[in-house]
Amino acid sequence: MSVADPPEVERLSARLRSGTRAEHDAAQGSGFLDALAAGRLPREAYADLAAQHWFIYRDLEQAALAQRTDPVAGDFVRPELHREPALAADLAFLVGQDWQSRVVALPATRAYTARLREVAFDRAPAFVAHHYTRYLGDLSGGQFLGPAIAKSFGLNGDGHRFFVFDGIRPAAFRSGYRDRLDAIVWTPGDEQEFLTEVSEAYRHNIAVLADLKERWT
């Protein structure tokens, strides 16, 4: 660390993890994901989760296309992260080739995607907030959830491609991602918008899991 670098606890990534621990724990503690991973729910419940993810990532990755030339947000647009193609393949396997005419966005998912369309297409701090919340979650807890779901439902490649990031080493990527966050020179207003929107993103994710839990448990 150079003399100009802030102490670890003062870095944005560290303050972010500390400040959103309660929201993170609430998302992990919804009960739906645990029940799914343990095989206590039908395969249709997992397909429903994949469908809600598809609606979310479709809009998030459209926002990424809009933000790819932004001097801040563009640094986080990495095509190897994109999940929409993997989710489409998963849904074709789990639901059928006509899956797009059969999947339905739950109310919380509709609210989530409306928020993405409202803030993520033209506001870099908001885009990075939603990007961080989703993709770093996928590269953290998702790396444990994916194999558990595959085991519970007897999947071997097909049906759980969402959890597989080809060409990415999750631990190294997460570290580099946090370094990029820490390197951003935010205005105070932009940093506050980012932090506020991370909490908003967690709130939407928790609501989606609550809707799924109500539907399937």
The domain that contains 173 carries what CATH number?
A: 1.20.910.10
Provide the 10 A C-beta neighbour count for residue 50: 24
Pairwise pLDDT comparison (193 vs 8), residue with the higher score = 193
Q: Among 2-11, 86-95, 117-126, 147-156, whose mean pLDDT is lowest? A: 2-11
* Residues of the domain holding 69: 8-216
Please calculate the CA angle 115-21-60 and round it to the nearest 5 degrees.
Answer: 25
pLDDT, tens only, 105-129: 999 999 999 999 999 999 999 999 9
Can you tell me the mean pLDDT for 202-209? 96
Q: Is 2 a member of any domain?
A: no
What count of Cα atoms within 13 Å lies in the side-chain half-sphere of residue 170?
Answer: 13
Split into its structural domains, the chain has a count of 1
Give me the chain's average pLDDT, please: 92
Handedness of CA 154, 159, 165, 171 (dihedral sign): negative
| pLDDT of 174 strictly over 60 | yes
Residue 6: its pLDDT value, please?
52
Q: Is 3 a member of any domain?
A: no
Can you tell me the mean pLDDT for 171-198? 96
| pLDDT of 3 strictly over 60 | no
| pLDDT of 152 strictly over 70 | yes
Q: Is 1 a member of any domain?
A: no
C-alpha distances in angstroms, 182 versus 63, 102, 149, 214?
A: 22, 42, 33, 38
